Chains A and B, each alone.
Chain A
Amino acid sequence: MLEVSGLTKVFGGLTAVKDLTFTLQRGEILSIIGPNGAGKSTCFKLISSFMVPTSGTVRFNGQDITGIGPHAVARKGIVRTFQENTAFQDMTVREAVLLGYQKDCKASLAGMILRSPQARRDDREAGAHADRVLDLLGMSSHAGTLAAGLPHGLLRNLGIAVALAARPQLILLDEPFAGLNSDETKRGVELIRKIRDEGITPILVEHDMAAVMSVSERIVVVNFGSKIAEGTPAEIQRNDKVIEAYLGSEDEEIGL
């Protein structure tokens, strides 16, 4: 479904991502992990075309989508979420989710403004779709709440809801568990499985190891921009390079 090959991004003298190659099968839950500054988020930005790679290609369903621009990538079926709590602050939950449907609206610009029959059909479909997404995430009761007034955990869910509303085939989740307590994380893990069961393939960039190990089917480990390991959670836990990347450096710092 997704083939990343030889992906490289250089910022001045710093190589943030170096010759990264991996593939993803439809319906598989893949996580990209690595220490801080390993280039995971840059990798996401390159896939979703928020940045243009220095070299390398990203292919999606056999098509080259390298650097075609973020809205074009979303139209192909790849939607990303953001770190932190990125949301449309002054919109209600439902309004924000309705916007996710925008790219699938068929009405013309004038049609939308003048409420053509097509625009009304779009609105009905968008509404039905928004209600389905909110239901899936268990947020129906918050439909009328302003994003600015939501607690942290729900705000994170809203980010995922808005992305799902855009009907992606592939969803890039950037640290979906950051700042969540263990209860919320557990629900998040379930949610990701539920998303996958809906036929949407998730990729995660995540720090929370326990969550990553429990949810992922395959893990790609990145350090200093390069892939150092790839495999199932069990394989990764035994991998010497991974242990060194995570623990080895820390040992030196502490002086053990």
Chain B
Amino acid sequence: MNTQDTIPMSGFAMPQSAASPLKPLGLGLLVAIAYFIGVPLLFGGNGYVLNVTTTMAVVSFISFGVWLTFAIGRINLAQAGFALIGSYVTAILVSRFGVSFWLCLPLSGLVAAIIGGLIGWPVLRLKGVYFAMITLCITEACRLTALSFPAVTRGAQGIVDLPLPGELSLFGLTLIPAFEKGARLPFFYLAGSLLMLGLWFMWLLDTSRVGAVFRSLRQNEDLAVSLGINIAKYRVVAFMVSCFYAGVGGAFFAALQQNVYPTSFQVIDSVYFMVYCFVGGLEFVIGPLVGALVMMVSFELLHELQRYQTVIFSGLMILCILLMPNGILSVLKARAARAKEASDA
């Protein structure tokens, strides 16, 4: 299933894919090779780099959800709230009921998606800054809920000392061995697998008919509804998928850090998930990954500057938004378009 341009029936290719040098399949392979082979080969012994890459992968995974809500024209600041829900679902099931982490991972996403659907149904009627404000409140409400029910969540003390993921076996066949204490590679590979799966599904969604419907919602809801498209349903679907990503990502971080606190995911995280999408470029499925990569790597590189780190980082971000308002990838796309024009001429 190579790219759209070989299949005449797919009028639903993203407009940029025709002109873009970023061919989906090749790009996906490149990301996979860089992650699964490149990083371990170059930095295999460096726990710090592995940690940063692991975090980056799952943070991008969570940001894909935010990207999808951008696709339907909504600024979503609830993502950290749903990630927190995912974290708590896993933490409670693992610590209290001894449920396998491998079951908790999709289950957390599912719970987050269902809660997201229930909240999203009324809330998604709002647009623009109103939707952004209410989703920001949702993130805060999730933190306060976690604080307020110590019987379930242990309140501010958090749920600590979670066991590491056990082995995953099917019919006595071990698919994934139990994670060992202090080993970083298992989490690194799990994060990479999540990232690739998340990216693949987003791409599939975006290039499908459903993706076209999502874009039509962003561009003109009235026109879409006049064509018989049930916009309320599609909005909720997009939001639920987004929440699923948040829930799964939250579950991963609960297992990685072996603890969950009400402060594990806060409003500032929601803002970061959104900024990754902006920096990478909202037009591109892979935007959140590029945004997270660039921002997290540059933040870590500025580590040398100690207390000036945040100041310089903020300055760079402002420059980034000023010079590339449509994200880093849009600059690459424009350059490719110019090069094509030049070669055509």
Contact = CB atoms under 8 A, between A and B. Distances in A.
A92 B12 CA distance: 10
Contacts of A192: none
Contacts of A95: 11-12, 15, 212
Contact of B224 (A90, A99, A114, A165): A99
B156 interface: no
Interface stretch (B102-110, B201-209, B271-279, B304-312): B201-209
Chain B at the A interface: SS class = helix
A113 interface: yes
A86 B223 contact: yes
Interface in B1-36: 9-12, 15
A94 B4 CA distance: 15
A70 B225 CA distance: 6
B226 A99 contact: no
Given A71-B228, A95-B12, A112 B219 contact: no
A124 B11 contact: no
Chain A at the B interface: SS class = helix
Contacts of A91: 15, 212, 215-216, 219
Contact of A109 (B9, B204, B210, B227): B210
Contacts of A103: 227-229
Contacts, number: 106
B231 A99 contact: no
B230 interface: yes
Contacts of B213: 99, 102
Interface size class of B (residues with CB under 8 A): 20 to 34
Interface stretch (A8-16, A24-32, A73-81, A238-246): A73-81
A252 B2 CA distance: 70
A113 B225 contact: no
B203 to A, nearest CB: 10
Given A86-B220, A91-B216, A146-B15, A99 B10 contact: no
B108 to A, nearest CB: 21
A90 B228 contact: no
Interface in B176-234: 201, 204-205, 208-210, 212-213, 215-216, 219-220, 222-231
Nearest to B223: A86
Interface string A176-204: 00000000000000000000000000000
11 contacts: A75-B228, A81-B226, A82-B226, A88-B220, A99-B212, A102-B227, A102-B229, A109-B210, A124-B9, A165-B227, A166-B227
